[in-house]
Amino acid sequence: MHVPDGFINAPVSAVTGVVAAAAVAVSLRGARRELGGPSHALSSGGEKTAPLAGLVAAFIFAVQMLNFPVAAGTSGHLLGGALAAILVGPYTGVLCVSVVLLMQGILFADGGLTALGVNITDMAITTTVVAYVLFRTLVKVLPRTRRSVTAASFVAALVSVPAAALVFTAIYALGGTTDVPIGKVLTAMVGVHLLIGIGEAAITALTVGAVLAVRPDLVHGARGLTAPLKLRVGGELVDAPAAAPAPARTGSTRKVWGFGIVTALLLAGFVSFYASASPDGLEKVAHDKGIDTKTTQHASSDSPLADYSVKDIGDARLAGGLAGVIGVGVTVAVGSGVFWAVRRRRGADTPERTPEAV
């Protein structure tokens, strides 16, 4: 899936290069925080980043060579974006996969030098961010057990691979140098990557499960799972003094999250089957009065999700429902990403610290 030179035209390559550079710059700062860890009170975490991120990058590089036999002589390997995001966190994940891609481009000539921005945007940023946002959302919704962490990593990895294929198709639609029709690229890429995603999901979930069984403290995505410390005083269990701050609140927010997501998916995916096929009020009025004769087609009207249906799927209801589900997914991802970033910023500004960090 490494994009070679000359596949995407120069302007789009340059833009994706800028996107990739910005994302790597943000990840460099975020990775310091993620890898700094609470165990070393005196260090700022800065000097721990390079060795740990470097070794994780070496791990991803090696694990991409681990062959998983599928059937009859064929085998696949891990892409690693989702796995990295769940094991070491999104920032370090983006950083490590980007470094792997950079070195593959320069040393092994795997992926073009001018296509580096495309490759990083597609394979490092999209997979890790989509996987992590989905993973966090699911872990919030599901009960707080190890099994749900494994299940969440399965779903996150399953979606992250076709999401990368979608982003690739979008980049191709903007700046592809060949004339393969977008619909064909979309069906081929997403179709193949749905299959690859199933393998990726199974391997990621099994690997996360294996690490969880041995060193649950190393799994970044499972940090909230540690049970509160209990002391045995006089034969009965008592909560240790410095208990986790207010675990009661999480239950209610989890319910709200779950209810919201399920409702949105239901509305988008199933209720839209039965929605009126006639245009909505304003469009109908505009049509009746003839004031829409001058409106030009929207710029993205030939995009894969234009007019709220997925291209190349014949059944209008199925297409509408699918577009709705994809739309909700993307909206939830973007929305919770923004929300999370804002809350993160606010948390960084306030001087108070959690007991573990001091």
Partner 1 sequence: MGAGHSHRLYRHGHSPVHELPPHCKLAAVFLFVVVVVSTPREAMWAFALYAVLLAVVAGAARIPAGYLLKRLLIEIPFVAFAVLMPFVVPGEQVHVLGLALSENGLWGAWNVLAKGTLGVAASVILASTTELRALLLGLQRLKLPPLLVQIASFMIRYGDVITDEMRRMSIARRSRGFEARGVRSWGVLAKSAGALFIRSYERGERVHLAMVSRGYAGSMPVIDEVTATRAQWTRAAALPVTALAVCLLGWTL
Q: CA-CA distance, 222 to 188, in Å (whole number)?
A: 35
User: Half-sphere exposure of residue 218, counting CA atoms within 13 Å on the CB side?
Assistant: 14
Distance CA 59, CA 109 (A): 20
Q: Which of these segments, 125-133, 209-217, 236-244, 323-331, binds partner 1 (CB under 8 A)?
A: 209-217
Stretch binding partner 1 (CB under 8 A), from 108-116, 152-160, 278-286, 299-307? 108-116
Exactly one of 20, 23, 95, 120 binds partner 1 (CB under 8 A); which one? 95
Q: How far is the CB of 221 from partner 1 (least distance, A)?
A: 13
In angstroms, what is the minimal distance from the CB of 153 to partner 1?
11
Question: Please, is 277 exposed, middle or buried when counting C-beta atoms within 10 Å of its C-beta (0-12, 13-18, 19+)?
Answer: exposed
Return d(Cα 62, Cα 53) in angstroms, integer. Answer: 14
Asked if residue 109 binds partner 1 (CB under 8 A), the reply is yes
CA 48 to mean position of chain CA atoms: 25
Answer yes or no whether residue 10 interacts with partner 1 by CB under 8 A.
Answer: yes
CB 303 within 8 Å of CB 173: yes
Task: Give the count of beta carbons closer than 10 Å to the beta carbon of residue 8.
Answer: 27
Can you list the alpha helix ranges (DSSP code H) found in the chain? 10-36, 46-63, 81-88, 90-107, 116-119, 127-141, 146-175, 182-214, 248-269, 281-289, 316-349
Nearest CA to 126 out of 69, 171, 192 is that of 171
- Contact pattern from residue 23 through residue 62 relative to partner 1, giving x for each residue in contact according to CB under 8 A and a dash for the rest: -xx--x-----------------xxxxxxxxxxxxxx-xx
Angle at 321 between CA 316 and CA 322, to 5 degrees: 100
Pick 120 or 325: Cβ nearer partner 1:
120
Among 12, 20, 23, 78, binds partner 1 (CB under 8 A): 78
Query: What CA–CA distances, in Å, run from 317 to 79, 264, 310, 329?
Result: 34, 17, 10, 18
| Residue 18 sits in the site that holds partner 1 (CB under 8 A) | no
Q: Which of 103, 68, 78 is nearest to 160 (CA)?
A: 78
Distance of alpha carbon 310 from alpha carbon 140, whole angstroms: 30
Does 74 contact partner 1 by CB under 8 A? Answer: no
152 binds partner 1 (CB under 8 A): no
Distance in Å, CB of 304 to partner 1, minimum: 17
Binding status of residue 256 toward partner 1 by CB under 8 A = no
Comparing CB distances to partner 1, the nearer of 43 and 300 is 43
Which member of 142, 209, 257, 330 binds partner 1 (CB under 8 A)?
A: 209
Site string for partner 1, 153-192 (x = CB under 8 A): ------------------------xxxxx--x--------
Q: How far is the CB of 96 from partner 1 (least distance, A)?
A: 8
Least distance to partner 1, CB of residue 67, Å = 8
**Part of the chain binding partner 1 (CB under 8 A), chosen from 21-29, 243-251, 256-264, 335-343:** 21-29
Q: Does 194 bind partner 1 (CB under 8 A)?
A: no
Name, in order, each residue with C-beta under 8 angstroms of 270's C-beta and a sequence gap of 6 or more: 321
112 binding partner 1? (CB under 8 A): yes
Q: Rule CB under 8 A: say whether 66 interacts with partner 1.
A: yes
Does position 4 interact with partner 1 (CB under 8 A)? The reply is yes
Q: Which parts of this chain interact with partner 1 (CB under 8 A)?
A: 4-7, 9-10, 13, 24-25, 28, 46-59, 61-63, 65-71, 78, 87-88, 95-96, 99-100, 102-103, 105-110, 112-114, 177-181, 184, 202-203, 206-211, 214-215, 218
